[in-house]
């Protein structure tokens, strides 16, 4: 397992192969990921805990434990923690490439 710290929280890679990657992602209270899209992968998010505000192609939806969402290749997406405890979710990536450089940031709180 490899772990990575980010300005919004952290993630651990739980499994990785040529056909998919599985991450556990923690988003700290009051933080959000960049509004982004990918050209080579789709994602499935399953919320484990916390209160998440998910933006998907401009539509916002509050999600909590047990809920999930599918994000197709090219879809704009973001998760934001609007609660007081960490948002924890599992991300399953499928596609042809899973590198961190397949991120097109549309908006980012951290100037990346």
**pTM for the full predicted model:** 0.95
Inter-CA distances, 68 with 34, 48, 59, Å? 19, 9, 15
pLDDT at 42: 98
d(CA 6, CA 11): 8
Inter-CA distances, 94 with 16, 23, 84, 85, 109, Å? 10, 12, 31, 29, 26
Q: How confident is the model at residue 99 (pLDDT cuts 50, 70, 90)?
A: very high
- Average pLDDT of the residues in 6-31: 98
Quick check: helix, strand or coil at residue 92? Answer: strand
- Average pLDDT of the residues in 5-24: 97
Q: How confident is the model at residue 18 (pLDDT cuts 50, 70, 90)?
A: very high
Closest CA to 42 of 78, 92, 99: 92
Q: What tens digit of pLDDT does each residue of 35-91 get?
A: 999 999 999 999 999 999 999 999 999 999 999 999 999 999 999 999 999 999 999
Distant-in-sequence, close-in-space partners of 106: CB < 8 Å, separation ≥ 6? 34, 35, 36, 37, 76
Decide if pLDDT at 1 tops 90: no
Domains and CATH numbers, the chain: 2-97 (2.60.120.10)
pLDDT at 101: 95
Q: Are 50 and 41 in contact (CB under 8 A)?
A: no
């Amino acid at each position: 397992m490899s772990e990575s710290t980010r300005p919004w929280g952290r993630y651990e890679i739980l499994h990785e192969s040529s056909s998919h990657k599985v991450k556990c992602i923690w988003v700290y209270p009051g933080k959000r990921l960049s509004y982004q899209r990918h050209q080579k992968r789709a994602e499935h998010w399953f919320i484990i805990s916390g209160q998440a505000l998910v933006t998907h192609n401009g539509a916002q939806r509050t999600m909590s434990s047990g809920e999930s969402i599918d994000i197709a290749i090219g879809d704009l997406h973001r998760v934001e923690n609007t609660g007081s405890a960490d948002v924890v979710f599992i991300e399953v990536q499928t596609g042809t490439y899973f590198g961190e450089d397949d991120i097109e940031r549309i908006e980012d709180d951290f100037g990346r």
